[in-house]
């Protein structure tokens, strides 16, 4: 089996994944700023890293996955100006800032749960680490990488570039001239020595609600500082993977590198991974365009662009069909196709779990069948080992599903493969569907148990030639999204595809 390779944004190439301290892996992903409901783009990012988390664990790594909650410091623009997003929302909703944080953190966790994303090992919040953020700011001041201006503390990018050979901008590929020309003329920009400098600690205005005491007076931490502090606290000054959305490369992740390296003198992250954006009908999501869809709207079908409701697992399956570094497009056609394929895969899961192997001396083993199954299994792992390419692995899984259905339907005798090959097929299919891809049955109740009871009634009605009851039961099954199959030796059921 080939080695796992990951695309490192920093080097702009795929690299063999070699953890700093195997078998341990440290992974940090920038979490949400909890001032509003989580949107589908957020779901895409966090589901992508959930699958990465799952696969690393599947390979036997002991992963500490840290995903933060930003509950202070994220201002309305990236130039360290404007109102705190949470404080602004608190005023609009006539709530305390921490009520806003609680409300939207609960929403975020609920959406992550219904999407079947595993909880991170640690989920720290920015407000829970104010002391550590002040401490890092002090260190940067002591080392000459920061300066005080007007009661605020700013990171000195030019000093950093003098020390580390003009490294600022290496992640995003931007140069200082571009950064300066892209800076807007905003209130407070005059405090900075240079437009590309960024805030570590901001002086709180009289109107600013969220504020803490510091050696420089009352203020609040800059948005970028929290991630440097929390990743260091829980993963150390150097760790394996840092992830987030593509939109965070600059300025957020660029600033994180500068802060962390300025403080500890070492490269903080070995592999930078970024998930790409999500579009709707080929257009970037935007409130002004009216194509911004919330998960709750997707799950209920309550949006003008949606023809029907789509379940969380349908959305997850659609995400699996696109590599995390590629743009993913949401449309009714794409979601309907994903819904159909998801049901096929779950039917296959139930089928393979029910299949049992038994020898038959009169049926010869087919070397071709064995080789084809082994090749498909290899393709599934090769896809995941090629920078977590779920699209390739999923395509191979559907090929394995055809093999499973051929055995189930009697087209291929189960005895034509040996026990070891059957076990490999069964174990791989179940592992990928449940453990790696994170797919699960939609129904909270155990539909299999309910269907077994209904099928007994169905078989009895059919045996007694009570065709009216048979038709009623079939109609009821259809309303549940279930199809009854009258086979030669038994009555079976599957999800309607």
Is 252 labelled as part of a ligand binding site?
Answer: yes
Q: CA nearest 129: which of 230, 236, 267?
A: 230
- Beta-bridge partners for 146: 155
The span from the CA of 154 to the CA of 51, in Å, is: 37
Cα separations in angstroms, 155 against 140, 152, 161, 347:
8, 10, 11, 56
* Residues, the chain: 497
Annotated binding-site residue? 148: no
Does the annotation list 227 as a binding residue?
A: yes
Q: Is 365 marked within a binding site?
A: no
* Three state DSSP letters for the chain: CCCCEEEECCCCEEEECCCCECCEEEEEECCCECCCCCCHHHHHHHHHHHHHHHHHHHCCCEEEEEECEECCCCECCCCCCCCEHHHHHHHHHCCCHHHHHHHHHHHHHHHHHHCCCCCCCECCEHHHHHHHHHHHHHHHHHCCCEEEECCEEEECHHHHHHHCCCCCCCCCCCCHHHHHHHCCCCCCHHHCCCCCCEEEEEECCCCCCCCECCCCCCEEECHHHHHHHHHHHHHCCCEEEEEEEHHHHHHHHHHHHHHHHHHHCCCCEEEEEEECCEEECCEECCCCCCCCCCHHHHHHCCCCCCCCCCCHHHHHHHHHCCCCCCCEEECHHHHHHHHHHHHHHHHHHHHHHHCCCCCCCCCCCCHHHHHHHHHHHHHHHHHHHECCCHHHHHHHHHHHHHHHHHHHCCCCCHHHCCHHHHHHHHHHHHHHHHHHCCCCCCCCCCHHHHHHHHHHHHHHHHHCCCHHHHHHHHHHHHHCCEEEEECCCCEEEEECC
Ligand-binding site membership of 43 (annotated): no
250 with 278: CB under 8 angstroms?
Answer: no
Burial class (CB in 10 A: 0-12, 13-18, 19+), 205: exposed
**Burial of 426: CB neighbours in 10 Å, binned 0-12, 13-18, 19+:** middle
Binding-site residue ranges for Zn(2+): 30, 227, 252, 256
Binding-site residue ranges: 30, 227, 252, 256, 287
Binding-site residue ranges for ATP: 287
């Amino acid at each position: 089996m080939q080695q796992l390779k990951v695309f490192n944004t920093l080097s702009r190439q795929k690299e063999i994944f070699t953890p700093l301290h195997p078998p341990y892996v440290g992974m940090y992903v920038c979490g949400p700023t909890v001032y509003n409901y989580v949107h589908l783009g957020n779901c895409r990012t966090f589901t992508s890293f959930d699958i990465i988390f799952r696969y690393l664990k599947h390979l036997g790594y002991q992963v500490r996955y840290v995903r933060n909650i930003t509950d202070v410091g994220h201002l309305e623009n990236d130039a360290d100006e404007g109102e705190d997003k949470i404080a602004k929302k608190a005023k609009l909703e006539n709530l305390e800032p921490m009520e806003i944080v609680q409300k939207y953190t609960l929403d975020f966790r609920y959406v992550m749960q219904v999407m079947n994303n595993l909880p991170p090992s640690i989920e720290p919040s920015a407000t829970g680490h104010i002391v550590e953020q002040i401490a890092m700011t002090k260190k940067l001041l002591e080392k000459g990488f920061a300066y005080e201006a007007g009661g605020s503390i700013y990171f000195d990018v030019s000093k950093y570039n003098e020390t580390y050979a003009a490294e600022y901008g290496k992640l995003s590929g931007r140069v200082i001239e571009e950064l300066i020309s892209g800076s807007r003329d905003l209130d407070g920009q005059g405090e900075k020595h240079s437009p590309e400098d960024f805030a570590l600690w901001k002086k709180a205005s009289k109107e600013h609600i969220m504020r803490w005491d510091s050696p420089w007076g009352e203020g609040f931490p800059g948005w970028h500082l929290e991630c440097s502090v929390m990743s260091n606290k829980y993963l150390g000054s150097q760790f394996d993977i840092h992830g987030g959305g593509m939109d965070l490369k600059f300025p957020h992740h660029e600033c994180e590198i500068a802060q962390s390296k300025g403080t500890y003198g070492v490269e903080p992250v070995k592999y930078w991974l970024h998930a790409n954006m999500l579009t709707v009908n080929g257009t970037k999501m935007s409130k002004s365009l009216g194509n911004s869809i919330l998960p709750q709207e997707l799950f209920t079908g309550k949006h003008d662009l949606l023809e029907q409701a789509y379940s969380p697992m349908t959305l997850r399956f659609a995400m699996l069909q696109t590599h995390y570094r590629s743009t993913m497009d949401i449309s009714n056609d794409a979601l309907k196709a994903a819904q159909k394929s998801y049901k096929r895969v779950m039917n296959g899961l139930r089928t393979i779990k029910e299949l049992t192997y038994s020898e038959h001396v009169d049926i010869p083993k087919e070397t071709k069948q064995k080789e084809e199954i082994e090749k498909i299994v290899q393709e599934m792992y090769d896809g995941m080992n090629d920078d977590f390419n779920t699209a390739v692995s999923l395509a191979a899984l559907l090929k394995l599903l055809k093999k499973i259905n051929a055995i189930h339907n009697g087209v291929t005798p189960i005895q034509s493969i040996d026990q070891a090959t059957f076990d490999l097929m069964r174990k791989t299919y179940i592992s990928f569907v449940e453990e790696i891809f994170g797919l699960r049955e939609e129904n909270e109740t155990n539909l299999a148990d309910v269907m077994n009871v209904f099928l007994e009634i169905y078989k009895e009605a059919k045996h007694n030639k009570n065709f009216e009851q048979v038709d009623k039961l079939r109609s009821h099954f259809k309303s549940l999204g279930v199809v009854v199959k009258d086979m030669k030796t038994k009555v079976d059921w599957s999800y309607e595809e």
